[in-house]
Chain A
Amino acid sequence: MRKYIVKRVIAAVLTMWVLITAVFFLVRLMPGDPFQNPKMTEEVRANLESYYGFDKPLIVQYGVYMKNLLQGDFGYSMKFTNKTVNTIIGETFPFSADLGIRALVLAISMGLVLGIISARNRGKKLDFFCVVIAVLGTSIPDFIMGAILQYGFGIKWGLLPVAQYNGIKYTILPACALAFYTLASVSRIMRASMLEVSQQDYIKTARSKGVSEMRITVKHQIRNAIMPVMTVMGPTVASVLTGTFVIESIFAIPGMGKYYVESVSNNDYSMVLGMTIFYGVFLIFCNLVVDILYGVADPRVRIGER
């Protein structure tokens, strides 16, 4: 097991280095520069360029960046001039992660339950109901879902706060809006996987031994059917926890999503890099955790190392 993890970590470090290097150079190919003010004069631009070291050769800038990065320093944002990228991530990530965890707990638990109910009642009304929810969830874009929830519960009925993030009740609407898509896809994967497992020999064996249906579902079917859901969880957890631009914008949540998206249009080089690295590390970490869990859960995954 240890060898397996070490191998994965080395691969992850290499992947990160390639990612950082590629983004560092690609970001400079974007048209325009970070100093986007129609009133910018040549003199001011020259001072700004030397301030950020842009007047040095690109390869030197790369060396400086990598050196700082190894000390965990992402540098100053070029748009929010007196904040470091580290500070911005430190301030915004807790909000995104908090919202993301709530949404995930909701999405995974509800999604699994719906998927199981759906599979157990295949072809019946209950199945149809679950499938409708799944189709709606995957086809309604999050900005529509967010706006509908906000209008209905926030404005029309006044049950919940319209926006911002100041306490538990503020989290309900955005978490539901954010969870909807993941919930739907989890339920679909779970349903398909449950049905597939139900055809397996060991289920037939159990049934022929006279094990009760409930026990078959709980002890044999679910445990085996959950593997495909785990597979998609890596990227899903990473993307949901690092914030979503649309939901955070609709509910005015001070999360990370906006900074990630807008750093690109702002040509805020240090921010693009910092956010990409943060997201990249997080994604690789989530995938690693999933892989390890996978190895724990399914002995076949570990066969390769023996």
Chain B
Amino acid sequence: MKKRVLAALLAAAMVVGALAGCGTPKTKESKESTGSDSGEKVFRYSTRTEPTTLDPTKSNCIPDNEIQHALTESLVRNTGGEVTPGVAKDWTVSDDGLVYTFNLNPDAKWSDGEQIKAEDYVYSWQRLMDPETAAPYAFIGEYIKNGLAVETGEMEPTELGVVAKDDTTLEVTLEHPTAYFLSMIGAQAQFAPLRKDIVEKYGAEFAADAEKNVYSGPYVLTSAKNQKWIFEPNENYWDKDSIKLDRVELSYVQNQETALAMYESGDLDYSEIPSAAVPNYEGKDNKFRNGNVDYYYFNMDETKDSPITNKNFRLALNYALDRNSYNTLVNNDVYAPSNSLVFSGLQGADGKYGEESKLNSYPLEGDEAKAKEYLDAALAELGKASASDITVTITTSDADSAKKQAEVCQEMWTTKLGINVEINQITYAEVLKRHETGDFEIAWGGWGSDYDDPYSYLELFKSDSSYNYSHYKSDKVDELLKASQTETDAKKRMEMLHEAEQIIIDDGAFLPQAEREVHYLVDDDVKGLNFFYCSINLDWVYADIQ
């Protein structure tokens, strides 16, 4: 008996030993990459949000878009806000701004050598809007004529406003004039061309890995395994002389401290800096704003018995917030405090929207006296004897940053206004649900735009928008936003949008807080990186190592 015990233990030990000796799982591709010693131009960076798909139609987050920006060639290419020809060498727009006719470059080829044809765009856009596809970002295609009707199944995908006149002529009809249409299709992955034969060949497996696709863009994907994506130049790309890098390696590194450590030890050429570590890199870091804004929604639903429905009360909350101190306490001064709705870095009529803005808003440092005036007016209107009779609840997510945000607001409002503030932390998924059900008084909110235009942010306060979680209704704002969609004079249009923003601020319709800023480190020899604030943050397509 004892011998059997011993034998069993020995056998177990041998199995464990054998398994332990079987070597690490294969990461062949990554073993070859030991930097740019061989004279190869290699750019290595990481993302902390894992890309969700390699199917352009189903892209639904910034990392997805960034990957497709390198692998696909849209009609035009948007590089840091500048629109240049892509597969379309030129285009015309009808006088009413509704019909775009693109002339495609006959030399533009897929990575397998086939010509990129107008039909490839028609197929891709129809697939995007087809309810059967269930693309999570299908709403981006509602700009195209009949987009919404196709999406809801009322019309066939073939009735979508995109037609291939011949192999090199594509005609796109829009629902309404859209000033930012070209800019949008140049950065949003969903507008990339697709090859019907390839998609149908692989079916559900299409783009499941690097081999199950063909590529229209400047790079092809040679590997997509084990949280690592490897890009190499596309030999058949129409503009391949502009592409300088020999290889790009993207690693998914969730932990920002780890990414930074990898940068420090030379395993990465580019890394974001976690906000707590930003002070350690003063003078060495670079930064860009990624277009994301942080704010709180106020629920103005009149049927709710909440002080938030009172305009003076909302203004009191807005004036009581010292956004400079807020930014120090919540964001380590890494972000930029904000008292406006539209991200300041967007393209305006001539320059940047923020520079052209004459917005008259709550001062960044707050104004306690004014806050109290508004509070007194609110108390009188609400029929409350004192501020301590008022209790409001902030509904926010369970993230650490969300907690800090809420606690700082709570502290400022309690000490300056004397009201009671409660914090209700729930999961992120539930916060999103609450936005829709309207079951909140004050709720966490954040927005980043899919296109380079103020409309994206202002739409949050358009009364019939599905994003109007605040139940805000201003006839004037609705009117201005509607008019802005048909106005073709860029300057006049921008003025309308500025005016709408002013009304929203005057109504205290929400609580602006901060614009997000990303701090990063990059090796000195890396040149030509571009940064953008819609759809894409980091664009290395034209980067070079010198």
Answer whether residue B180 sits at the interface, using C-beta atoms and an 8 A cutoff. no
Q: CA separation between A38 and B429, bound complex, in Å?
A: 10
Shortest distance between the CB of B450 and any CB in chain A (Å) = 7
Answer whether residue A242 sits at the interface, using C-beta atoms and an 8 A cutoff. no
Shortest distance between the CB of A183 and any CB in chain B (Å) = 15
Chain B residue numbers with a CB within 8 Å of A297 are 5, 8-9
Answer whether residue B103 sits at the interface, using C-beta atoms and an 8 A cutoff. no
Q: CA separation between A33 and B258, bound complex, in Å?
A: 31
Q: Is the CB of B429 within 8 A of A32?
A: yes
Q: Interface digits, A277-305 against B, CB 8 Å rule (1 contact, 0 not)? A: 00000000000000001001101000000
Answer whether residue B385 sits at the interface, using C-beta atoms and an 8 A cutoff. no
Using a Cβ–Cβ cut-off of 8 Å, how many residues does chain A contribute to the interface with B? 66
Answer whether residue B349 sits at the interface, using C-beta atoms and an 8 A cutoff. no
Answer whether residue A141 sits at the interface, using C-beta atoms and an 8 A cutoff. no
- Closest A-chain residue to B465, C-beta based? A41
Q: Is the CB of A36 within 8 A of B428?
A: yes
Query: Main SS of the interface on chain B?
Result: mixed
Answer whether residue A30 sits at the interface, using C-beta atoms and an 8 A cutoff. yes
Using a Cβ–Cβ cut-off of 8 Å, how many residues does chain B contribute to the interface with A? 75
Shortest distance between the CB of B146 and any CB in chain A (Å) = 13
Please report the number of residue pairs spanning A and B whose Cβ atoms sit closer than 8 angstroms.
Answer: 183
- Closest B-chain residue to A266, C-beta based? B429
Answer whether residue A181 sits at the interface, using C-beta atoms and an 8 A cutoff. no
Q: CA separation between A299 and B5, bound complex, in Å?
A: 10
Q: Which of A81, A83, A161, A267 contacts B429 (CB 8 A)?
A: A267
Q: Is the CB of B55 within 8 A of A250?
A: no
Answer whether residue B287 sits at the interface, using C-beta atoms and an 8 A cutoff. no
Q: Is the CB of B134 within 8 A of A51?
A: yes
Q: Interface digits, B127-171 against A, CB 8 Å rule (1 contact, 0 not)? A: 000011111111100000000100110000000000000000000
Q: Interface digits, A96-108 against B, CB 8 Å rule (1 contact, 0 not)? A: 0010011011000
Q: Which of A82, A151, A250, A267 contacts B58 (CB 8 A)?
A: A82
Chain A residue numbers with a CB within 8 Å of B328 are none
Q: CA separation between A46 and B466, bound complex, in Å?
A: 14
Q: Which residues of B contact A (CB under 8 A)?
A: 1-2, 4-6, 8-9, 12, 16-17, 19-20, 22-25, 27, 30-31, 46, 50, 52-55, 58, 60, 131-139, 148, 151-152, 204-208, 225-228, 251-255, 257-259, 261-262, 264-265, 267, 426-430, 432-433, 435, 445-447, 450, 466-467
19 A–B contacts, CB within 8 A, in A order:
A30-B427, A32-B433, A33-B433, A37-B137, A38-B446, A44-B138, A44-B139, A81-B52, A81-B55, A82-B54, A91-B226, A101-B19, A151-B261, A162-B258, A162-B265, A252-B227, A293-B8, A296-B4, A299-B1
Q: Which residues of A contact B (CB under 8 A)?
A: 30-33, 35-44, 46-48, 50-52, 76, 79-83, 87, 91, 94-95, 98, 101-102, 104-105, 147, 150-151, 154-155, 158, 161-168, 170-171, 223, 226, 249-252, 254, 258, 265-267, 293, 296-297, 299
